[in-house]
């Protein structure tokens, strides 16, 4: 049995592409907004009823399946080896998401390398378990956002490392700001969170949560039980970890309840995932009062501070946080990319170059450019110009050695002319040739991190809640600024995005960097369509596949949006 996409009535056939995405997502958002309001009013019985309604709704199940089949891990299977890569499988999955009789399978254990040489264990759930987690997360995340610490920035919608760094700047920039910082790191946070604490305090279906926590994992075909922790790799795990760690800032405010006392103690808190910093007026205050308070808080949750990574530092000596160094130089606060982060980035570049000694320069550039662009974009909000220039120089020397090694019998001028060209006053731009999709040859140039403009990041307001309708205008304004920054330099894409009002013409939902986008030709190029702006629209990747599979004709928004069958 299936369900009608509009009314919920029973039908015989469920066509995945016929589901009204706009309708289902609007229903989910309205229920989430009601959960936020009930949480704010302390009506926890109503919260529970709304959660039940959402997790048992057709719209919730469709949204959950969309999430796990449209993200980066959509082609990564669990222990059953199954992936949902066809419309039929997705439609079947919607019908399978039921609480009654649900039993999660063990996670597939994989290991990824860490910066310190150790390996981080990840647990990969099956597609069905991921979808069930995504379904219950829809009902849990609005509560987690409403009750979260104001200065917690990790694994939260619309928040980023740049917001956490921005808060560090705000609390430390003044001459009267705190001089001492407690850098905290929680030891194996995800692996040690107490199951008993989670089951007692997390506001979700306890029976389903217990099944996830106790599912175990498969490592080298051996089943291992899980008595503590929540696996890294599960969709719901970051929110569970945040719920366990939320409250440290509230405990500090209890200790210093008035603005005057807090100002005298200069205690401020910033957390990103399991890394945090707490400022204080003296080293003694942090050692004897703040650190014991945090340790006591963590102990109740089965956690402890890492003795190796938890230190107390003076602001004149500086500290590293989220890949950046925060330090005062003669009383002036400067935030720069940390030396450790730069070293790790250059090591990654060297490894890529050395493992591709015989690759043609153009294709090597295609591998290097995303790496350079991503790293530069991460640091473009802080004082990075000098570091960008020195990093580019280091990459240039590496590529110069790579080029000379390929042609030991050629002169330096010959090597220079073959691999380096003149672009906008720079005579040493590394370049190469690649073959396009249609067989055409084109030149590509290595990106220079030093050309990345420095743009200051506007920190999100601490109380902003993306699930609360009262904050909708605020987040829409921030989205416009973000997309303009993301599409700066790509004028045609930015113009299309603005022309469409930032929405996909098919589903009427917003297009963001997270959702991604595809360039669609209204009159298909195979039918003679031109590659002009008048013949193009931006669509979500999934909507783009729907258009082609059903041979739909998209009507260009002017500025309204529309779609009709061909």
pLDDT value at position 265?
86
Over residues 92-118, the pLDDT tens digits come to 999 999 999 999 999 999 888 776 667
Q: What is the mean pLDDT of residues 542-550?
A: 82
pLDDT at position 34 over 90: yes
Q: In this predicted structure, what is the pLDDT of residue 359?
A: 93
Under the banding of pLDDT at 50, 70 and 90, the label for residue 301 is: very high
Is residue 431 within 8 Å of 448, Cβ to Cβ? no
Q: How far apart are CA 433 and CA 205, in angstroms?
A: 56
CA distance 417 to 513: 38
pLDDT at 512: 82
Distance from the first to the final alpha carbon of the chain: 30
Contact between 543 and 507 under an 8 Å Cβ cutoff? The reply is: yes
Average pLDDT over the chain, rounded to an integer: 89
Give CA–CA dist 458/533, Å, rounded: 31
Q: Which residue has the tokens 């580019």?
A: 392
CB 543 within 8 A of CB 506: yes
Of the candidate ranges 153-167, 377-391, 493-507, 521-535, the one whose mean pLDDT is the lowest:
521-535
* Three-state DSSP class for residue 500: coil
- Say whether pLDDT at 558 is over 70: no
Q: What is the pLDDT at residue 5?
A: 43
Check residue 400 and give its pLDDT. 96
Residue 446 has pLDDT above 90, yes or no: yes
Measured in whole angstroms, the distance separating CA 332 from the mean position of its chain's CA atoms is 31
42 Cβ contact partners less than 8 Å away, ≥ 6 residues apart: none
Span 145-153, average pLDDT:
96
Nearest to 315 by CA among 305, 329, 302: 329
Proportion of the chain above pLDDT 70, given as a percent = 93
The predicted pLDDT at position 525 comes to 57
Banded model confidence at residue 9, pLDDT cuts 50, 70, 90: very low
β-pair type (426-435, 441-445): antiparallel
Does residue 145 register a pLDDT over 90?
Answer: yes
* pLDDT at position 477: 83
> Where is average pLDDT lowest: 138-147, 173-182, 452-461, 551-560?
551-560
Distance CA 244, CA 192 (A): 11
User: Residue 125: is it exposed, middle or buried by C-beta count within 10 angstroms (0-12/13-18/19+)?
Assistant: buried
> Which of the listed ranges 357-366, 428-437, 481-490 does the model predict with the highest average pLDDT?
357-366
Rounded-to-integer distance, Cα 101 and Cα 93, Å: 15
Query: Are 15 and 3 a contacting pair, CB within 8 Å?
Result: no
Residue 535 confidence (pLDDT): 80
Q: State the pLDDT at residue 520.
A: 85
Identify the pLDDT of residue 104.
Answer: 95
Provide the token pair at 80.
Answer: 């059953």
What is the DSSP secondary-structure string of 387-441? HHHHHHHHHHHHHHHHHHHH-TTS-HHHHHHHHEEEETTEEEEEEEEEE-TTS-E
Q: Is the pLDDT of residue 496 over 90?
A: no
When mean pLDDT is compared across 53-67, 280-294, 467-481, the lowest value belongs to 467-481
Residue 10 predicted with pLDDT over 50: no
Q: What is the DSSP string of 49-81?
A: HHHHHHHTSHHHHHHHHHHHHHSTTTT---TT-
How far apart (Å, rounded) are the C-alpha atoms in residues 140 and 230?
16
The mean per-residue pLDDT over the stretch 483-503 comes to 75
Quote the percentage of the chain above a pLDDT of 90. Answer: 67
Q: Could you give the C-alpha distances from 269 to 57, 153, 305, 402, in angstroms and in order?
A: 39, 11, 16, 46
| Average pLDDT for 387-400 | 96
pLDDT (0 to 100) of residue 37: 97
**How many degrees, rounded to 5, is the angle at CA 192 between CA 125 and CA 276?**
105
Predicted confidence at residue 564, as pLDDT, reads: 39
pLDDT for the residue numbered 489:
62
Tell me the pLDDT tens digit for each residue of 416-440.
Answer: 999 999 998 889 999 999 987 777 8
């Amino acid at each position: 049995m299936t369900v009608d996409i509009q009314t919920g009535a029973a039908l015989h056939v469920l066509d995945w592409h016929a589901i009204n995405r706009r309708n289902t997502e609007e229903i989910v958002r309205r229920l989430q907004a009601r959960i936020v309001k009930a949480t704010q009013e302390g009506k926890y019985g109503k919260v529970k009823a709304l959660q039940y309604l959402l997790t048992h709704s057709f719209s919730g199940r469709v949204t959950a399946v969309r999430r796990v089949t449209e993200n980066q891990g959509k082609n990564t299977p669990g222990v059953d080896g199954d992936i949902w890569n066809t419309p039929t499988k997705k439609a079947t999955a919607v019908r399978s998401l039921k609480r009654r009789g649900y039993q999660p399978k063990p996670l597939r254990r994989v290991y990824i390398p860490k910066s310190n040489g150790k390996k981080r264990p990840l647990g990969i759930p099956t597609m069905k378990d991921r979808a069930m987690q995504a379904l219950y997360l829809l009902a849990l995340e609005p509560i987690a956002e409403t009750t979260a610490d104001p200065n917690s920035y990790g694994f939260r919608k619309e928040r980023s490392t740049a917001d956490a760094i921005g808060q560090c700047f705000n609390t430390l920039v003044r001459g009267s700001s705190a001089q001492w910082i407690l850098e905290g790191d929680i030891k194996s946070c995800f692996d040690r969170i107490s199951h008993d604490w989670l089951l007692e305090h997390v506001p979700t279906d306890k029976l389903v949560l217990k099944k996830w926590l106790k599912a175990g994992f498969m490592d080298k075909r051996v089943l291992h039980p899980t008595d503590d922790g929540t696996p890294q790799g599960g969709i719901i795990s970051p929110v569970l970890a945040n719920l366990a760690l939320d409250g440290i800032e509230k405990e500090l405010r209890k200790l210093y309840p008035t603005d005057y006392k807090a100002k005298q103690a200069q205690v401020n808190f910033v957390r990103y995932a399991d890394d945090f910093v707490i400022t204080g007026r003296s080293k003694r205050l942090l050692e004897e009062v703040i650190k014991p308070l945090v340790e006591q808080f963590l102990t109740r949750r089965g956690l402890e501070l890492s003795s190796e990574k938890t230190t107390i530092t003076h602001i004149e000596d500086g500290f590293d946080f989220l890949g950046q160094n925060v330090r005062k130089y003669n009383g002036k606060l400067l935030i720069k990319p940390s030396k450790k982060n730069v070293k790790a980035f250059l090591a990654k570049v060297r490894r890529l170059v050395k493992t591709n000694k015989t690759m043609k320069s153009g294709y090597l550039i295609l591998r290097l450019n995303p790496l350079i662009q991503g790293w530069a974009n991460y640091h473009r909000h802080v004082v990075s110009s000098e570091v960008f220039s020195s990093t580019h120089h280091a990459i240039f020397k590496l590529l110069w050695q790579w080029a000379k090694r390929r042609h030991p019998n050629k002169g330096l001028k010959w090597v220079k002319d073959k691999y380096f060209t003149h672009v906008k006053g720079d005579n040493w731009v590394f370049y190469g040739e690649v073959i396009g999709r249609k067989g055409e040859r084109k030149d590509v140039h290595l990106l220079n991190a030093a050309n990345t403009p420095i743009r200051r990041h506007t920190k999100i307001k601490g109380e902003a809640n993306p699930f609360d309708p009262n904050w909708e205008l605020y987040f829409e304004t921030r989205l416009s600024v973000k997309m303009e920054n993301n599409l700066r330099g790509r004028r045609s894409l930015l113009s299309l995005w603005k022309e469409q009002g930032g929405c996909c013409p098919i589903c009427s939902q917003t297009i963001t960097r997270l959702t991604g986008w595809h360039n669609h030709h209204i009159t298909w190029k195979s039918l003679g369509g031109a590659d002009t702006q008048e013949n193009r629209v931006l669509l979500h990747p999934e909507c783009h596949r729907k258009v082609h599979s059903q041979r739909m004709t998209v009507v260009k928004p002017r500025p309204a949006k529309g779609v009709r069958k061909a």
